[in-house]
Structure 1
Amino acid sequence: MNRFDRFLAIDWSGAMGERQRGIQIAYLDSQSDTGPVLLRLPDAKNWGRVVIKNLLSKLARADQRTLVGMDFCFSVPWPDEGPLPENRQQVESVEELWALVESICSGDAHYYAGPAIRNLSSDFAPYILCDRYRGPEFRFDRFRETERQLSPKPASIYHCMGAKQVGPGSFAGMRMFHTLRSVNDPRIAIWPFDPIDNANVVLCEIYPSLFYQMAGMKRAYDRATIANTLAYFHSGSPPEMSIQDEADAVISAAALRALSYNPDLFSYPPKVPVAHKEGWIFGVLPS
């Protein structure tokens, strides 16, 4: 028996502005025999980060339990000496990290996190992986433990410019998490930082490329790739899609439902001490 009634996969974006084409959401019911459905807004506009926050709050008030996968890093690498540059005051918890990101970026609307990665005076600047600010103090090997378990490893959260950038979306997501924390709604749990048994909405970090890899496929959005990957996760036919972000959301929704039957995926990662600060990618079992 699955502990969730429905599954949402959100392909995220850190782009500037109120709405982002890169944000795509796929939905799948626990009992559905059909494939995931792409969710659209009634006004036909793109999703936005504030709209997503409001959607999560609405889901928390519903009777059904929802597992929500979000495609961004929930935290940063957290060595013993602390996650920030050695000459900065360290944060002691992930909630303090989210609050710090919010304090740096609070002047920007729509949870945009540009100041956290572009301002050289910010606490993150010495670890940003980008050509513009490259220097001897920059670190190219800063990965969280959950990322070290994957091969090939995902891009680091400190990769903040150019192709495959991860930082902008992740820090934007942390701003949204800070808002959710400030509301103090026990019906919303952010895994693995919170207990999930009594939450109506459980937010977990996803990495769509991992799900393609599980199915023996390379990440792509051609119909054969999507159909074969959905079949691996015992899901139905794919909807019509035109961009990779849509495909990633669809595949992730199917994977969330299939993998959520495995209790080890929820119970084991929180036992990894650093996961309480770094977070964990859903679907990764420590080796």
Structure 2
Amino acid sequence: MTGFDTFVVVDWSAAKGVRTPGKDAIWVGITRSGRDEAPRHFPTRRDAESWLADFLRAEIAAGRRTLVGFDFPFGYPEGFARAVCGSADPLALWDWLAERITDDARGVNNRFDVASAINRMFPGIGPFWGKPQEEGYPDIPYRGTHRDGHGMAEKRACDRAAGASSSVWQLFFNPTVGSQALMGLPMLSRLRRIDGVAAWPFEDWDEARAVLVEIWPGLIEPAIKAAGDGIRDAHQVRLLARALSRLPAEELRGMMQVQVQAPEEGWILGAGHGERLTALAASPLRPPPLSNDCFALPPGVDWTPVDDALALLRDRLRPVTGIKTVEVARADGRILAEAALARRANPPGANAAVDGYGFAHAATGEGPQTLPLVDGRAAAGAPFRGTVPEGHAIRILTGALLPGGVDTVVLEEDTRSDGAAVAFNGPVKRGANTRRAGEDVAAGDEALPVGHLLRAPDLALLSAVGLAEVPVRERLRVGVLSTGDELAAPGSTDDPGRTYDANRPMLLAMAARWGHSAVDLGHVADDRTALRDRLDGAAADVILTSGGASAGDEDHVSALLRETGSLTAWRIALKPGRPLALGMWDGKPVFGLPGNPVAAFVCALIFARPALAVMAGGPWPEPLAMQVPAGFTKRKKPGRREYLRARLRDGRAEVFASEGSGRISGLSWADGLVELPDGAVTVTEGDPVRFLPYAGFGLG
């Protein structure tokens, strides 16, 4: 069996207690089918193990082969397993530890007791060392220098090969690798019992559906440092999962077929390959380029109706941007690279919707009600820890978790209280003035879909369901280039033979309004060599050009695209803006827009906007349209769809006095377009027409 579909990296923790997202917590990074997923945090080891077991079973059932890496030693220096459990088999040692290590739901465990018992099996002092208090656990020395005569090597062969400085014997003081192993190996003992799971390199892993491996994030330390702000552990699991997923299948297989000198010690996957993994982790994830013939028209097509042209673009385009993980607080305006799944419910627990008094509904009825109050109260962030007996009530404030025994809240304004009891009139509806746990979003549900453009309200939702970071698409770099000898910079000359470049500032502003990174590629005269050089050096994912897109002597954009074999001259049946040259340059899509500003504007709205949205990783956006009465008359011939510059006044669509495509002032005069259909139509005042506001194109 070759290759893996899903890569999981687990940053384990031996810390005591329930951990909030941060350091010394458990983080899991996932890259599935080539896509990075947002790192997941787990408050306890029990939570993490339960999730991992369910995840492995689900991936196996779905037919996806999974590699799961853990950042703690899978084995000990040679001779340790036999001394402890009577067998050199490291898996027997895993089982031995699983029978003895305890770990409750609050993260309280007995690892120091087990380590004490193991140390008593060895001569001298050690090998385990490090503890919270110097006077506790007398069989464990406080410092590593206090050990002597235990007979165990300090490091395994793979630790030396990887350059790892930490020791498997260290139980306390950072890094607590020894404690991580004591708390992690029992978990591995249970996970490997799932049908289809094998532990590398101790078992036959080649045909396994899921393989457990030992990893060390220190192998990609430069990439982790370069990740910048945020939670280090979250960065390292995400980046190492990404790096492993990008290894060609045969290269990864070669790493896994390493000959281990001391088999019982295990091996760190990737030991000796740190530079290679770092390079793979550091580079942004990018999809393959579009093919050169992605814009090719079907045979026999001459004039292309607008709807057919849009359908071709929609079917043939896909995202061309990379993926990165960003903090939710910095994600405004970004496009989700994958569905955002709720880490926890919102609200996380049943709570009060008002200030008032809570009680069990079963203890109340119709007419006047009087219930004695328990001592204490429930407030947001300060829950009542006890249970409210039936027939009693408790003072409760808005947002407070409902204590045990409470399922209904009566509004404070509907009560009277002397501090010892509360009186109100019944009946009160069961569950009144309460919010159910997860009534907004349940844990594990999709909070937002892949491709969603994040806005301020979305950041509130993501934060509420526990997501500190999300994977997003890198901003699409839209290069804008003007061509033609006749163009000059605005205000640079008074020569009437020169035209000021109006398209470039307009198109750059449109790209920026749509949330992309607008890249000014400047102006190139009618010089094919200069144009080729400018295209070659374009730091962009897609290029919009204006001018030079037809078939004339000076139409160099079309000529260069023809040289690459990718040019498709779309003669689109619309007015204004019939010629649209589409092609590929060095893997980058090129949209050759008309040189006329009005035609360039319309073509950018109708064709470039949805195409750029898809290439940026979002869904295909349909323009906002509304039916409004016409405030004009017009007779239109069949054959082309027409877009008239228009604005709404008194609920009617007025159109610009002139349809001349050279009248740029009409674009500023208008606040939208009236779209007239492909066929013949006669419009009289009051007839319904289709109005497309600029705001619906993201230009409001």
The reply to whether TM is greater than 0.5 is: yes
* 1:68 to partner: Cα distance: 1.4
CA distance in 2, matches of 1:194, 1:31: 27
1:273/1:110 Cα in 2 relative to 1: closer, same or farther (>3 Å)? farther
SS of the residue corresponding to residue 163 of structure 1 reads: coil
Relative contact order higher in (CA < 8 Å, ≥ 6 apart):
1
Q: Which of 265, 269, 277 matches 1:278?
A: 265
SS of the residue corresponding to residue 191 of structure 2 reads: helix
* 1:178 to partner: Cα distance: 1.7
Normalised by the size of structure 2, how large is the TM-score?
A: 0.32
CA distance in 2, matches of 1:155, 1:180: 25
Q: Which of 153, 159, 172 matches 1:147?
A: 159
Q: Which of 201, 205, 210 matches 2:214?
A: 205
CA distance in 1, matches of 2:218, 2:58: 29
One-letter amino acid matched to 2:104? A
* 1:142 to partner: Cα distance: 1.4
Q: Where does 1:66-215 land on structure 2 (aligned, <5 Å)?
A: 66-78=66-78, 82-83=79-80, 90-105=86-101, 107-109=102-104, 114-119=109-114, 121-124=116-119, 126-130=126-130, 132=134, 133=141, 134-137=146-149, 142-151=154-163, 153-181=164-192, 183=193, 185=195, 187-212=196-221
- Which residue of structure 1 aligns with residue 243 of structure 2? 255
Structure 1 unaligned residues grouped into runs of 5+: 228-240
SS of the residue corresponding to residue 16 of structure 2 reads: coil
CA distance in 1, matches of 2:65, 2:85: 39
CA distance in 1, matches of 2:162, 2:211: 23
Q: Which runs of 4+ in 1 moved over 6 A?
A: none
1:63/1:84 Cα in 2 relative to 1: closer, same or farther (>3 Å)? closer
CA distance in 1, matches of 2:227, 2:112: 34
1:24–1:246 Cα contact (<8 Å) kept = yes
CA distance in 1, matches of 2:269, 2:212: 10
Matched, 1:24 2:33: no
1:218/1:25 Cα in 2 relative to 1: closer, same or farther (>3 Å)? closer
- Which residue of structure 2 aligns with residue 235 of structure 1? none
1:184/1:136 Cα in 2 relative to 1: closer, same or farther (>3 Å)? same
One-letter amino acid matched to 1:29? R
CA distance in 1, matches of 2:115, 2:73: 21
1:180/1:6 Cα in 2 relative to 1: closer, same or farther (>3 Å)? closer
- CA deviation digits over 1:11-40, x for unaligned, max 9? 1112234667411112213444xxx22244
Matched, 1:245 2:233: yes
CA distance in 2, matches of 1:171, 1:210: 22
1:199/1:15 Cα in 2 relative to 1: closer, same or farther (>3 Å)? same
Percent identity (aligned) = 25
2:30–2:39 Cα contact (<8 Å) kept = yes
- Which residue of structure 2 aligns with residue 61 of structure 1? 61
- Which residue of structure 1 aligns with residue 352 of structure 2? none
1:210/1:259 Cα in 2 relative to 1: closer, same or farther (>3 Å)? same
CA distance in 2, matches of 1:19, 1:50: 16
1:258/1:111 Cα in 2 relative to 1: closer, same or farther (>3 Å)? farther
One-letter amino acid matched to 1:23? I
1:67–1:256 Cα contact (<8 Å) kept = no
Normalised by the size of structure 1, how large is the TM-score?
A: 0.74
Moved more, 133-142 or 95-104: 133-142
CA distance in 1, matches of 2:130, 2:10: 26
CA distance in 2, matches of 1:83, 1:19: 32
SS of the residue corresponding to residue 212 of structure 2 reads: strand
Q: Looking at secondary structure, tell me which structure has more strand per residue.
A: 2
1:69/1:100 Cα in 2 relative to 1: closer, same or farther (>3 Å)? same
2:85–2:92 Cα contact (<8 Å) kept = no
1:18–1:49 Cα contact (<8 Å) kept = no
CA distance in 2, matches of 1:93, 1:8: 26
2:119–2:127 Cα contact (<8 Å) kept = yes
- CA deviation digits over 1:100-154, x for unaligned, max 9? 212221x433696943434564114621132641343467951111101123x33
* 1:259 to partner: Cα distance: 3.4
1:117/1:62 Cα in 2 relative to 1: closer, same or farther (>3 Å)? farther
The alignment's C-alpha RMSD in Å is: 3.2
1:130–1:161 Cα contact (<8 Å) kept = yes
SS of the residue corresponding to residue 48 of structure 1 reads: helix
Which structure: larger Rg? 2
SS of the residue corresponding to residue 4 of structure 1 reads: coil
1:211/1:123 Cα in 2 relative to 1: closer, same or farther (>3 Å)? same
Moved more, 2-11 or 48-57: 48-57
SS of the residue corresponding to residue 91 of structure 2 reads: helix
* 1:164 to partner: Cα distance: 0.8
Moved more, 128-137 or 244-253: 128-137
2:10–2:26 Cα contact (<8 Å) kept = yes
One-letter amino acid matched to 1:25? V
Structure 2 unaligned residues grouped into runs of 5+: 121-125, 135-140, 274-700
CA distance in 1, matches of 2:244, 2:119: 31
